[in-house]
A and B are shown apart, each in its own frame.
Chain A
């Protein structure tokens, strides 16, 4: 509002001198802008008058006085500016800013059990101020992908009236050539404010060394928090600071506008990105893949907004740094995948898993690639080259290899996943050789390949990536293993029940050699008992597979035994102690087979056939 009367130079000077900060205590006890609006207008008018007279006057020594007065005014205005800023600066109400579109589940892989775990985030799912919540992200396991639809949202950090006042002051300071001081004051107050907001958002100030020393599961939590905080920092906090600078300095001097913004946010931006940078250079071990990808995706999502907020030339280093971090995270992801493949190939444990059951490595790898398939959207973009190991590279024929021609037209990611299964298979086969018992070795292979197929079929994405053809191959392989197992174990057992060698033709009688027959029965019983005792301890975890295997055994065993019994029992029963030889009925055997592959020991005594 324009004051009604114009003001004389003398009066103006008096007003300025009255409010001289350095002159008396009285005038510094209160701020002009805290008081009466008329006093404010009067003061501003006085400043304008002094400036006007100085620019109108010719350069002469007599102007010294005005020169001095303007300095007093500027010093005062600087204090006023600071005061208004400080009293209107409060840290961001961060609670209300946490977006509701964050997913509510997070996936992680437990290195020890090989199982992957899902656990709910302890997010506060709140609405944005005044807005309806955005549609939640699909919270399938693909929730770990943070491609969200958030965008820049500028808040009014300072009420409009205060902005007007600040602008009034800035205008005058800048036109008097005091823009340096203005920027200084602005920067120092706002930097503190950003620092406070950072603390509220949980943005920590850790050194790279600190971060490297932390355990990964601690870091995972920090990464999640960082992603949340970074979105708020870039899209709301920094964007709002930029807006504030524009509101105060717009049209006055573009250099000042930008200088204030950079002054305020450069340090905080560096601090913010430092964390992501430190993560991108941490040691590449497999369990880190998924959180790294989360971080990568979050940063990728933020990049356009970073570029928008830091568009000026002087903030180029921040944009460059963000882009660098992104590419380093991508490199890290690629490196981790490569590390993983090497680890699977060279996993050296030679201790055979008891009972021939599923090896922890198999579980871990299948769960791992399951999670990878969840991230396929990102990984398809990051993984661009085919797997580069194998016998075709090392010339080592004992290494596995894969014929890429078979997989024409697949994405590099698909090739990598298939390759991982190939080397897993290779490794499993290698481990099977540690079993002294060949049967067990075959069972082991059967179990593990079956698990691979089941896991692959269980996930739509994984199944698509690997392809049914390959799965058919694997299926055939484990069926083969099952057959090999049966052959290895049962051929010699059933050999006891063969016809040849039992018939004797001789001078005294043509018929069956009773002694040979007795030996046969004894041998069969002993073998069967041994097989029973041993293989009850073996384990086929999959119930369907277990059933099928048992059925297959009984289908071969029972008819052979029944037939043998049928033909030869009379010979035994006509001799002494038949119960020593015909210990079991067919039903007994059938029952006994039910004990197989349960993984528990059984009592040594089978139910004798009831006489």
Chain B
């Protein structure tokens, strides 16, 4: 179903989340009660609250909205917003940032940023793949468009062919997604026409443009998550508390990338990464919730082998499956019942295609924007970190 704005009213998680939030916040406040408020403290506090708020809002959406295109864009929005704030914190505290131990922590953050760039690029490829699937669906729509003429055998055959191609394409993605063996699709003059007939239209399906053949999203994510641990007490005090926002931003980065990889088809996706959830930070609560919800989604029977957890992918799979059943059960003359059902399904697919057409381009633009922001932030930060760090 096309995603709607979050009504926020009926989610059972919301009150649960809120209560945890309030408990945790009290704990944090009591921890920080000893300190006198000063600009740096409030700046950090505000930042953590921002993270908490933005991701809380994301975590309490309805099941329909979670992992939809619109939700993904909100997720990336939240990331950009937090990243900007973090940038400001770094700029405001340049002197401290250039001293150990904060300097090392910030340098590690920028290392993670670098790794994030490849994931952004791989996501663009994934979005392109979804576009390809959507185009297949458009063929189905074009075939089943009953406005043009009465539905005939030819149209159903055309639809069936397109649906088969779509199924193969999506299956293909799952295969290359998990094994990354490159199916050898050779072309050339010497191929027999017989082979050509069996040749699938997706010659280039396994061509990846944005990352190398051996690149793995799962490995990349894991390397970002490695050593991502909450700062120790003496680090926090040695850095006037700045170690905490650095950790928080690093965690947010990792989480958002993890969610992206979970949702969008990526080369060698994997959802299992080893990273400690920041349980004792109040801002960590929404992430715990989100992670649970997303993992739950991935374990559902129908989604276990999905090439991506994006809601619209699920919808595509379901629509395609229903449509295939319908088309397979067609016999002439058409009953009114079949006609109605066909009409309904066509309507469903039309709405889905609309949503995809309207949602994929903006999502791609936003991924690119995330890429840009991460890259610029890193360049800027490395400049004032200076030549203290070893070359990469």
Residues of A within 8 A of B (CB): 21, 25, 28-31, 34, 59-61, 63-65, 67-72, 74-75, 79, 82-83, 86-87, 89, 177-178, 180-181, 183-185, 187-189, 191-193, 195, 204-210, 212-213, 266-268, 270-271, 274, 281-285, 317, 324, 331, 335, 339, 342-343
Q: Which residues of B contact A189 (CB under 8 A)?
A: 187, 203
- What are 25 A-B interface contacts by the 8 Å CB criterion? A29-B192, A30-B193, A34-B193, A63-B152, A64-B154, A64-B332, A67-B149, A70-B154, A72-B157, A75-B161, A79-B196, A86-B189, A188-B202, A189-B203, A193-B187, A204-B212, A205-B211, A207-B118, A209-B115, A209-B220, A281-B379, A283-B391, A284-B382, A284-B383, A331-B379
B300 within 8 A of A: no
Contact of A59 with B150 in the complex, beta carbons under 8 Å? yes
Q: Which residues of B contact A281 (CB under 8 A)?
A: 117, 375, 378-379
B345 within 8 A of A: no
Contact of B114 with A208 in the complex, beta carbons under 8 Å? yes
Give B341-392 interface residues, CB cut-off 8 Å to A. Answer: 364-365, 368, 372, 375, 378-379, 382-383, 387, 391-392
Contact of A283 with B382 in the complex, beta carbons under 8 Å? yes
Contact of A188 with B201 in the complex, beta carbons under 8 Å? yes
Q: Which residues of A contact B68 (CB under 8 A)?
A: none
Contact of A268 with B209 in the complex, beta carbons under 8 Å? yes
A31 and B193 in contact, given A208-B114, A208-B118 (Cβ under 8 angstroms): yes
CB distance from B207 to the nearest CB of A (A): 6
Contact of A270 with B150 in the complex, beta carbons under 8 Å? no
Q: Which residues of A contact B212 (CB under 8 A)?
A: 204-207, 210
CB distance from A494 to the nearest CB of B (A): 48
Bound-complex Cα distance A73 to B215 (A): 42
Contact of B157 with A71 in the complex, beta carbons under 8 Å? yes
Contact of A28 with B191 in the complex, beta carbons under 8 Å? no
Bound-complex Cα distance A278 to B162 (A): 38
CB distance from B166 to the nearest CB of A (A): 11
Report which of B135, B197, B208, B333 forms a contact with A21, defined as CB distance below 8 A: B197
A71 and B158 in contact, given A59-B150, A210-B212, A281-B378 (Cβ under 8 angstroms): yes
Report which of A30, A72, A180, A283 forms a contact with B154, defined as CB distance below 8 A: A72
Q: Which residues of A contact B193 (CB under 8 A)?
A: 28-31, 34, 83
Mostly helix, strand, loop or mixed at chain A's interface? helix
Contact of A192 with B138 in the complex, beta carbons under 8 Å? no
Give B178-212 interface residues, CB cut-off 8 Å to A. Answer: 185, 187-189, 191-194, 196-197, 199, 201-205, 207-212
A59 and B149 in contact, given A30-B193, A71-B157, A271-B210 (Cβ under 8 angstroms): yes
B128 within 8 A of A: yes
Contact of B187 with A71 in the complex, beta carbons under 8 Å? no
Bound-complex Cα distance A180 to B158 (A): 12
Contact of B204 with A209 in the complex, beta carbons under 8 Å? no
Contact of B207 with A191 in the complex, beta carbons under 8 Å? yes
Counting chain A CB atoms within 10 Å of each CB, the highest count among B155, B158, B392 belongs to B158
B121 within 8 A of A: yes
Contact of B210 with A87 in the complex, beta carbons under 8 Å? no
Q: Which residue of A lies closest to B138 (CB)?
A: A180
Q: Which residues of B contact A177 (CB under 8 A)?
A: 142, 148
Contact of B139 with A86 in the complex, beta carbons under 8 Å? no
Sort A-B residue pairs by CB-CB distance and give the 6 closest, nearest first.
A71-B154, A67-B152, A267-B209, A68-B154, A191-B204, A64-B152
Interface string of B141-168 (1 = CB under 8 A from A): 0100000111011110110011000000
Contact of B196 with A83 in the complex, beta carbons under 8 Å? yes
B311 within 8 A of A: no
Q: Which residues of B contact A212 (CB under 8 A)?
A: 114, 392
Interface string of B258-276 (1 = CB under 8 A from A): 0000000000000000000
Bound-complex Cα distance A358 to B196 (A): 71
Q: Which residue of A lies closest to B382 (CB)?
A: A283
Residues of B within 8 A of A (CB): 114-115, 117-118, 121, 124-125, 128, 135-136, 138-139, 142, 148-150, 152-155, 157-158, 161-162, 185, 187-189, 191-194, 196-197, 199, 201-205, 207-213, 215, 220, 332-333, 364-365, 368, 372, 375, 378-379, 382-383, 387, 391-392
A209 and B118 in contact, given A180-B138, A339-B387 (Cβ under 8 angstroms): yes
CB distance from A576 to the nearest CB of B (A): 68
Q: Which residues of A contact B202 (CB under 8 A)?
A: 188
Q: Which residues of A contact B204 (CB under 8 A)?
A: 187-188, 191-192, 195, 267
Counting chain A CB atoms within 10 Å of each CB, the highest count among B187, B192, B220, B378 belongs to B187
Extra inter-chain contacts (6) besides given A89-B187, A274-B121, CB under 8 Å:
A63-B150, A74-B158, A188-B203, A205-B213, A268-B209, A283-B382
Counting chain B CB atoms within 10 Å of each CB, the highest count among A178, A180, A193, A317 belongs to A180
Contact of A205 with B387 in the complex, beta carbons under 8 Å? no
Bound-complex Cα distance A499 to B223 (A): 82
Bound-complex Cα distance A83 to B193 (A): 8
Q: Which residues of A contact B148 (CB under 8 A)?
A: 177
Contact of A274 with B150 in the complex, beta carbons under 8 Å? no
Q: Which residues of A contact B197 (CB under 8 A)?
A: 21, 28, 79
Q: Which residues of A contact B154 (CB under 8 A)?
A: 64, 67-72
Q: Which residues of B contact A61 (CB under 8 A)?
A: 150, 333
A274 and B210 in contact, given A29-B193, A208-B118 (Cβ under 8 angstroms): yes
Q: Which residue of B lies closest to A54 (CB)?
A: B149
Q: Which residues of B contact A282 (CB under 8 A)?
A: 392
Contact of B128 with A267 in the complex, beta carbons under 8 Å? yes
Report which of B139, B203, B205 forms a contact with A181, defined as CB distance below 8 A: B139
Q: Which residues of A contact B194 (CB under 8 A)?
A: 25, 28-29
Contact of B185 with A192 in the complex, beta carbons under 8 Å? yes
Q: Which residue of A lies closest to B365 (CB)?
A: A317
Bound-complex Cα distance A209 to B161 (A): 40
Q: Which residues of A contact B117 (CB under 8 A)?
A: 208-209, 281
Q: Which residues of A contact B187 (CB under 8 A)?
A: 86, 89, 189, 192-193
CB distance from A72 to the nearest CB of B (A): 7
Bound-complex Cα distance A86 to B155 (A): 27
Q: Which residues of B contact A266 (CB under 8 A)?
A: 128
Bound-complex Cα distance A317 to B369 (A): 12
Q: Which residues of A contact B121 (CB under 8 A)?
A: 207-208, 270, 274
